[in-house]
Structure 1
Amino acid sequence: MSLLIQGPKQPGNDIDIYLAPLIEDMKKLWSPGVEVYDAYSGENFQLRAMIYCTINDFPAYGNLSGYSTKGANACPICEDDTQSFWLTNCKKNVYMDHRRYLPKNHPYRKKKKVFNGKTEERTARKPLRGETVFSRVENLNVTFGKFKGNGKGKRKRTGITPPKIIWKKRSIFWELPYWKHLQVRHCLDIMHIEKNVCESLIALLLNIKGKSKDEINVREDMIEMGIRPELAPIRNPGKRTYLPVACYTMSKDEKTKFCKCLHGVKVPSGYSANIKKLVSMKELKLFGMKSHDCHVLMAHMIPIAIRGILPDRIRHTITKLCLFFNMIHSKVIDPEVLDSWESDIILTLCQLEMYFPPSFFDVMVHLTSHIVREIKYCGPVFLRYMYPFERYIGVLKGYVRNRHRPEGSIVEGYATEEVIEYCTDYLQGVNSIGIPKSRHEGRLVGSGTIGLKKIIPNREDLQLAHFTVLQHMTIIAPYINEHKRTLELSNRGRSNRWLVKEHNKTFSQWLKDKVRASYGIDSVDQAVVHLGNGPEDLVATYQGYDINGYTFYTNQQDGKSTLQNSGVTVIASTEVYGDSHDTRVRIAKESYYGVIKEIWELKYDSIIIPMLKCKWVDNQRGVKVDNDGFTVVDLSTNGYVSEPFILAKQATQVFYVEDPKESGKHIVMHSKRHILGIDDVVDEEEYDQFDELPPFSIGIPSSNDDVDDTIYLRSDHNEGIWIS
């Protein structure tokens, strides 16, 4: 309701009146429950249900919980133990002092100069239990309803500072008998926390006018705090004021590199919105970012865009913050790593305090310190996303035709769609207007989408593709082993490497002869016969192809599109030989990265097998994992020319982002897919026929450097901020 009815007429704290019928039903569902018939077992059973948490944005968090999410004690987890500081010039509360969460013997606690000028001896209080919180609100008297003011639009000032009130009401949820026993009753909205942190970070780095946290007021506040005197404003009589270059201040050239990197990003289908549209190269800023755009930027793109354009310590700290948001969005989380995540984010926040201005640390930045606690109690954050609710609110708002009566328009539009949906069940040949079908419905096994063309390829390429098919077919494995044994017996004394080359060269013809000799024998599998005879000479080629939940394009098609669907990776086994080149040392599994050049469909009678012809990056010369954990590839290298083909069903999609640090190099990023529920897929991991892929980044090692020599001024450029 508070999302739909905005402005002064929104329910606010009166939302409890609307929730009263729901709470009555939930109390009944908790005890004694509702008798329900189970059609499968043919028996009645007692159905019970409970609300284990709510999920809202931060203002609605205050309306539902009754806690005051504004002012000095804005954190609903810390409550009256919230440590805030009032910036007199910025006129805002900031929430720093994250050193309280560090171990008592941590060296950061003793540092003065690099923090707020004081040592830290305090210890953060553990979040209060539900019973304790209930005792604080149990006797609160609440009167619902809107009250008119004195008619002048302003409150009368009495000169007396009113006492701090952190609880505005006793929420109606406390009437649920189990509510006070829950450790987490109202969940933090990770989506909006991430969005606000992302916007603050980008505004600070790019110094976006009107949004940057670095301005003359915060520089004066730092003077009052007695910290970072080298960043004090330099006032010229009758002229503009100059703000010296801070360690996080980018030069115009660095801003251009940052924006150029994001402006050049092309992502696969279904990954995100077009990031290029968010970047203004003229004004060197980002604008119009939606919540999911901020998620993609924060979790994936910002660590790449800042490579090589900020001092190492600043860059590593920002990257660790971004990787934290990347990790918490994981679908599967090992409970044993949560304690280390919690300590890492506290350490990261402390390091941000060392470098960033105090105005950066609003309550949203502080709330990141409590995210891991909620994961421990409530599970992965994707189970509590606000994305589906926000999208559905957008659907409901789309029903509005009369802006003077939005509620009635929504009811009318919703009811109309329900009636039409019911009627379509009785109309032949009419598709449902409900949940749209996935574009991959019916295409998981492979389907060409763009640019069908029939060609007759050269004989050498066709044989390479055919041999690749035979190597990966389970029913052909016994014939492969038989051929290898035959070669070993007839070529005694030959090296292993020679035998492998001879097998690759002669196996296809050997299998074809063997299949022809077995005509009329019923025991031979017909699929083996079709594969052994080889593919048809006429090959269907495509510019676009859907398979395994991915949309693949050729590199040529990518050049015409705003998307990048031509990047692939495959994990393959490689035979490694010793110095003599004869003795096989081991079989190594490696990730190979490439770009799709052509998409083929080989036809073996009734069997159709899609293939990808790729240009592969040479792993020896063109692939490395740098100190920051990113996989960097040189797409100009051309490796494994004799093995250009892979089965399309074995390919995993990746995409490449240009590395701003090294010209001509690219960072490997993994694509994503959603195939659960499509074509009866119930387990995505079981559907995969390949090994688990390594992450796009292995993380930034923790810095144990001495922080006493922290430098707040940049010496590599002098492009500070001028203020009129």
Structure 2
Amino acid sequence: MNRDYWMYKASRFFELYIDDVRTFIRVAEANCVNKGNESIYCPCSLCKNFKTFNFTGNIEDHLLQNGFVPNYTCWSRHEETLLDCGTSSSNINIHNSTYNNDSYVDEDDHHSNDPNDNFNEMFDDMETNMDDVEQEKLQRVFEEVETPLYSCSKFMKLDVVCRLINLKLKNGWTDKSFTSLLKVLHDILMEDNVLPISTYQAKKLMCPMGLEVERIHACPNNCMLYEKEFENKHNCVFCGASRYTQKKYSDEVDDALLCWHSEERVTDGKLRHVADSPQWRNIDEKYPEFGKEMRNIRFGLSSDTINPFGNISSRHSTWLVLLCVYNLPPWLYMKRKYIMMSLLIQGPRQPGNDIDVYLSPLIDDLKTLWSSGVDVYDAYKKQHFQLRAMIFCTISDFPAYGNLSGYKTKGKKACPVCEDQTSSIWLTNSKKIVYKGH
């Protein structure tokens, strides 16, 4: 018998409707046993396959009283496929059957029963053919639909999140502001509320059935796609264009900046670069293996404290440790683009003489770079080499100098150069020490 007839057009008081409902109950029970489930979804017009019951008698009563949910001729929520939808669950002939005035077939929706309109069957079939992971995700969506926002709440969790997301999109709220709103609402509501506290959680709740995205590279001249047998190619087989975007240098010397101090620097006895200093030459003489490789890096370590909040009265202090590369030309090595922030020591107070504790990760890396070095590929010369590095000098104010070096920069002998010969005077009235000879 056509299910569309006995499920929606025949009277629910008709004997064959009752028999077919019991047949459906047997199918649902068998599926429940096969799946090892403890409960069965109720497909009545009120429960709409959202509620489950352990006792099939409740489902039978619902179907006799309320009828089936519209357009559920394929019992996909009860593990039936489209192959079983066209067959009847009963072979009893029907004569002089009456129509139920409480039929759930909407007059405005009569076209949905058109045999050429298979949208609902397609959706049911898709739902049936999901794997276990997707079925679990879909099940969680059904659970969220029935989960109240908090105990005794008339609002459901998913409904509230959808409304809030809609407001976010309409008013152009940022993710940060929306997260702040969710946290405030979470604190205002009852303690057992289940409202998400971040934008990420809210979006994940609404979009659990995400589609996988596969990126396929294409030739910049639209000749081919890098897939199948061309998946590992680096150039287009038709026009030869590179698969990757290449950086365009504004100056040819940019390719060999680490060698500028040796190859491009003017050596006329004048002090134009730190490489002209006696200290640079002394290091080359003391460590000839290090000085022989012109690409070995000589760092300048600069350290100071800043107040990131811009409030002069604030006592919060953040300590920066920066590294500049003295191999570069003098017009570049102090540019922000070429300065590396190696450490950021967050306050609220400056580390003072205990800064060595926070410097230990940087010291370990510098030891490695000085002793054994690291294997590096030189893209300009197209060769591998062992890169080594050292701290050439430090840049800091006087208090920071004391913290970094461990030298006492306060008191009568504060000068690290003069030491015992430091010229200092104690001012009795202001109770300060001044250094008039410096």
State TM-score, norm by structure 1. Answer: 0.13
Task: Give the structure with higher Rg (CA).
Answer: 2
More strand by share: 1
| Larger relative contact order (Cα-Cα within 8 Å, sequence gap ≥ 6) | 1
State TM-score, norm by structure 2. Answer: 0.21
